[in-house]
Amino acid sequence: MKTVFSPLHNRRTATTELDGGVLIAPHEKPSRAETILGRVKQEQLGDVLPPEDFGLEPVLRVHTPDYVSFLQTCWKDWEAEDKPGEAIPAVWPGRGMRERVPKDIDGRLGYYSFAAETSITEGTWDAACASANVALTAQALVANGEPAAFALCRPPGHHAHADLLGGYCFFNNAAISAQAFRDQGAKRVAILDVDFHHGNGTQAIFYQRSDVLTISLHGDPDLVFPHFLGFEDETGEGDGNGYNQNLVYPPGTPFEVWREGLETACQRITEYQPEALVIALGVDTFEDDPISFFKLTSADYLLMGERLATLNLPTLFTMEGGYDVDAIGVNVVNVLKGFER
Ligand code: SP5
Ligand code: ZN
């Protein structure tokens, strides 16, 4: 399987993540992508290609123009006010307040975000654009006949809504890629999100549509991020009614239990008969992940990949979460190797 990778992910080097009332070194750090790349090469998964530049057009098929402009100028606007640290939202349009875009950068940061752990920094825009191009380049490989491709995206994407950043995500690479399959003529596309966290952005983007089926397996949002979306009674709205599925699991969930959800998801995907499949691939389901509570082992990822392959669909993998850097390379490449064996 081919991998698409851009060294420009290194433009995203935030030094702060708000956690537990203090600023810690971010979990979502450059060594994550470098470690995965190292393992891809070590295991000789296949060629590693640089991304092509698709410009903003495919991004704007999913994200709003005002959000994209905000992201593009956010750092410059923040810097212009001589703020001492990285750009961190600290105020939101809470219940009963006005949903209008303020002029001030603090106001706009809150308007365009749903979480404060994701600091914006100088190179964030460049890295987010590169990450979307990585996804779109891998998408094009699959659209042109490769059975599967791996988009080694960083920063990740699945938490980003059409006009909201958060959860370490800026552009929703999986959603942008699914929309690209649609725009190239695929009638139906499925997105299966196996990251530990609910793919809230992906769900929201396609919630009222039946042409993109969204399924996410994740930790119970009653207990973990993103807290305000991802419950099992969210099944889609309007035309999208019946085309979103959330499979929620409690702390300590092992693969034997998690795989039942995977089975449910796979059966729904088969019934849906999509022309392409996007896997939002997070490995923060790992037993030693520092911010998560599932108990998957490294060997389990091989089995996950094997089951995904039996769907027998053109498949794009987009990299999402996973924060145990020591194991991230092995776990990700195990999914991809499992898929190919
Ligand atoms: C892409 C992805 O996996 N994003 C995850 C974003 C999670 N953001 C909230 C993190 C809260 C971390 N709390 C750590 C508690 C450790 N005991
Ligand atoms: Zn995650």
| Per-residue exposure over 218-235, b if at least 16 CB sit within 10 Å of its own CB, e if not | bbbbeebbbeebbeeebe
In this structure, what token pair is assigned to residue 90?
């600290």
Cα radius of gyration (the chain): 18
Write the DSSP string, 22-35. EEE--SS-HHHHHH
Quote the pLDDT of residue 5.
Answer: 99
Give tens-digit pLDDT for 144-154.
999 999 999 99
- Whether 159 is catalytic is yes
Centre of ligand 2 to C-alpha 315, Å, is 20
Q: Which ligand is nearest to the CA of 285?
A: 2
Is the preceding peptide bond at 155 cis, omega within 30 degrees of 0? yes
Phi, psi of 80 (to 5 degrees): -60, -20
pLDDT band (50, 70, 90) for residue 89: very high
Asked whether 163 and 71 are in contact (CB, 8 A), the reply is: no
| Counts of helices then strands in the chain (DSSP H, E) | 10, 10
pTM over 0.80: yes
Give tens-digit pLDDT for 131-145.
999 999 999 999 999
150: enclosing H helix or E strand: strand 148-151
Give tens-digit pLDDT for 203-228.
999 999 999 999 999 999 999 999 99
316: enclosing H helix or E strand: strand 315-319
Q: Which atom of ligand 1 is nearest to the CA of 118?
A: 8
Mean pLDDT of 98-122: 98
pLDDT band (50, 70, 90) for residue 37: very high
> Is the beta carbon of 117 within 6 A of some atom in ligand 1?
yes
Best residue among 24, 173, 197, 320 to mutate for probing ligand 1, ranked by most atoms within 8 Å of CB: 197
Q: What is the mean pLDDT of the chain?
A: 98
Centre of ligand 1 to C-alpha 289, Å, is 10
Burial of 118 (0-12, 13-18, 19+ CB in 10 A): buried
> Is the beta carbon of 224 within 6 A of some atom in ligand 1?
no
